[in-house]
Structure 1
Amino acid sequence: MLKSTLEQWRMLKAVVDHGGFSQAAEAVHKSQSTVHHAVHKLEELLGVKLLQVNGRKAELTEAGEMMLRRASYVLQEARKLEVIANNLSKGVESRLKIAVDEAFPQCHVYHALNEVSQRYPHTRVEIYETILSGAHELISSGKVDIGISGFLLSVGSNEQLCAAPFVALAHPAHPLHQLGTLSFEDLKSYRQIVVRDSSATQSRDSGWLGAEQRWTVSNLRTSIDLISKGFGFAWLPQSEAQQAIDAGLLKPLTLEHGAVRTENFYLNIKDSDQLGPAGKTFVDQLKASVEASTSE
């Protein structure tokens, strides 16, 4: 029979996270005496000193650090169980949060969203449009349920969706088109349009970034608009730039090598067991759309 309870461990973690008993009591909406009693009872049941008070700050003992580290995992799993149970009891999730890299072929996302809309019209869908490691950050932190990213998760599931081509492009009247076959050295003297990483905690680069002149923007659509107006060149995802290419606003640059590069995109799910019917439908339809396009 277990001596300790999840609630006692939750109280201990709150004291550590918030730096003291009074702060923890406020955070968990309990009285200070209730929090203090829970921690004291836990120490008594285990026969181990878990906390020590230095001044006004409560800190873990060495034994407390080791035990809370293990208990934190149990608390996290317990929260996951409650989320799963909540989804099962409701039948369909009320909200679905998805992070999508803007460079991923959006037609597949729209196909999957259409199916979700048809089957689960009352599920609220929140789409987070990201660049580079932005989607990876959101799924890693648990802020979204599903991520479509160019990076692999260190935990959870990763499934490669597709390899998307990026094409070096400029407006047809751009001076670079008058130079014939280009080298990277030729590009250095002209303005490159770059889209910044949307991650709040890290900034990653992708592809060639050797131009002496550089304009940095926050989203892909702005990049396409600027290049379509002759402000510079860039490697753009072909799927998103194709309409401008067909309209004669963009033209592929002729390079000795590297005119086209590919980027892999992955389906990231931190915990697939937590996905409800709407989330699973989105995943299934997304993969089906990608598979259908690659088999054409």
Structure 2
Amino acid sequence: MDYTLEQVRALVAVADTGHFGRAAQSLSRTQPPLSRAVQKLEAAVGARLLERTPRGAVPTAAGAAFLPHARRLLAEAADAGTAAREAAAGRTGRVRVGFTVLAGLTVLGEHLAPARERLPGVRLELEEADSRAQLAGLAAGTLDLGLVRGLPPGTDLSARLVRSERLVAAVPAAHPLAGRTSVTLTELAAHPLVTHSPDLAPALHRLVDAAFTAVGAHPPVAATANQVHTLLALVDAGVGAAVVPAGVLRLRLDGVRYLELGEGDGHRPERHRAELFRVHQPGPPPALRALLDVLPAGVSRA
């Protein structure tokens, strides 16, 4: 049973107007092609759908049964076109977003607020993951957008810097330095340190290691952690001090004190900043492209 939307539209127009001539006029067509369209539809259905009368046409019993389906078919076809146009314009669809714990504390909210307001038809699927897992997800196509710390060399991802944070020290409440407001890296290196994992948090590990190397310091490592909240839990437990991005200042643990990194040993803290990037594959699909257009373009600093 093969028939076209134009044939269905012709039948509905005749049923609505009760007349072939008026139906043709409502569709901006001439009457003969419209009559042939209805005849072809009746042949395809295998039943007479309209009863021709001297005054026009009325639906037969078969036509009356067919018409509700015909109207739904035309409405679905119109909705299908609308859905396709909305998707092509990026006003509907889904975007899978990866974020780190620190990104969740700092930029995620300011990125999501305008997106949800201006793109209500785009579904955002959020997934917490470390930077390495996000980069793997982007490569595998399981993520569309990531908020990551650092970028691997030679990456072909499209990236934008969205946040740059100074480094601060986190020390246990009972630490000898806990009563200070600032500390130098040289002073901090005299005590056990909790560091980011070189395998699972390589960007922050390299950053902090470079900061200590710059002042010729090599602190003893008491433990490593994959995520910043785990690292701070170790600081809270008194395992050691840590150097972390300033975004963690939002995490207040009773047993942790935060200190600024001073310049007493010649170290310039502004040279060592934790940078957060927004990354995605080149040539983004429409929903992701629309999302990127409404996200804040500037770099926030802390």
Question: Per the shorter chain, which TM-score range?
Answer: 0.5 to 0.7
Q: Which residue of 2 aligns with 1:235?
A: 243
Distance 1:271 1:112, change over 3 A: same
Partner AA of 1:218 in structure 2:
N
Alpha-carbon distance, 1:120 to partner: 4.3
Within 5 Å, give how 1:126-141 maps onto structure 2: 126-141=125-140
- Deviation by residue 1:190-212 (Cα, 9 ceiling, x = unmatched): 1324256548xx99842345443
- Deviation by residue 1:20-42 (Cα, 9 ceiling, x = unmatched): xxxxxxxxxxxxxxxxxxxxxxx
- Deviation by residue 1:100-135 (Cα, 9 ceiling, x = unmatched): 233447432212222333344454422233334333
Distance 2:167 2:183 in 1: 18
Q: Which residue of 2 aligns with 1:273?
A: 284
Alpha-carbon distance, 1:99 to partner: 1.8
Distance 2:219 2:85 in 1: 53
Q: Are the counterparts in 2 of residues 145 and 269 from structure 1 also a CA contact under 8 Å?
A: yes
Q: Secondary structure in 2 aligned to 1:207?
A: helix
Alpha-carbon distance, 1:236 to partner: 1.2
Q: Which residue of 1 aligns with 2:296?
A: 287
Q: Which residue of 2 aligns with 1:187?
A: 189
Distance 2:85 2:199 in 1: 36
Within 5 Å, give how 1:12-27 maps onto structure 2: none
Q: Are the counterparts in 1 of residues 236 and 253 from structure 2 also a CA contact under 8 Å?
A: no
Using the aligned pairs only, state the percent identity. 17
Distance 2:189 2:122 in 1: 48
Alpha-carbon distance, 1:263 to partner: 2.6
Partner AA of 1:225 in structure 2:
A
Q: Are the counterparts in 1 of residues 107 and 163 from structure 2 also a CA contact under 8 Å?
A: no
Partner AA of 2:275 in structure 1:
N
* Residue 273 of structure 2, aligned match among 262, 271, 291: 262
Distance 2:237 2:104 in 1: 23
Query: What are structure 1's unaligned runs of at least 5 residues?
Result: 1-83
Alpha-carbon distance, 1:92 to partner: 1.0
Distance 1:239 1:267, change over 3 A: same
Partner AA of 2:106 in structure 1:
C
Q: Are the counterparts in 1 of residues 114 and 294 from structure 2 also a CA contact under 8 Å?
A: yes
Q: Which residue of 2 aligns with 1:144?
A: 143
Distance 1:194 1:137, change over 3 A: same
Q: Are the counterparts in 1 of residues 99 and 126 from structure 2 also a CA contact under 8 Å?
A: yes
Distance 1:86 1:127 in 2: 22
Alpha-carbon distance, 1:145 to partner: 0.6
CA RMSD of aligned residues (A): 4.1
Query: What are structure 2's unaligned runs of at least 5 residues?
Result: 1-83, 210-217
Q: Which residue of 1 aligns with 2:155?
A: 154
Q: Secondary structure in 2 aligned to 1:173?
A: coil
Partner AA of 2:151 in structure 1:
F
Q: Are the counterparts in 2 of residues 194 and 216 from structure 1 also a CA contact under 8 Å?
A: yes
Report which of the two structures shows the higher radius of gyration computed on alpha carbons: 2
Distance 1:189 1:166, change over 3 A: closer
Q: Which residue of 2 aligns with 1:69?
A: none
Within 5 Å, give how 1:220-231 maps onto structure 2: 220-231=228-239
Distance 1:223 1:270, change over 3 A: same
Within 5 Å, give how 1:32-51 maps onto structure 2: none
Partner AA of 1:220 in structure 2:
V
Structure 1 position 215 matched with structure 2 position 215: no
Q: Which residue of 1 aligns with 2:176?
A: 175
Alpha-carbon distance, 1:285 to partner: 4.1
Partner AA of 1:283 in structure 2:
L
- Deviation by residue 1:172-202 (Cα, 9 ceiling, x = unmatched): 4312457996554862541324256548xx9
Partner AA of 1:100 in structure 2:
F
Alpha-carbon distance, 1:250 to partner: 2.7
Partner AA of 2:296 in structure 1:
K
Partner AA of 1:118 in structure 2:
E
Q: Which residue of 2 aligns with 1:117?
A: 116
TM score, norm. by length of structure 2: 0.53
Q: Are the counterparts in 2 of residues 148 and 265 from structure 1 also a CA contact under 8 Å?
A: yes
Alpha-carbon distance, 1:98 to partner: 1.1
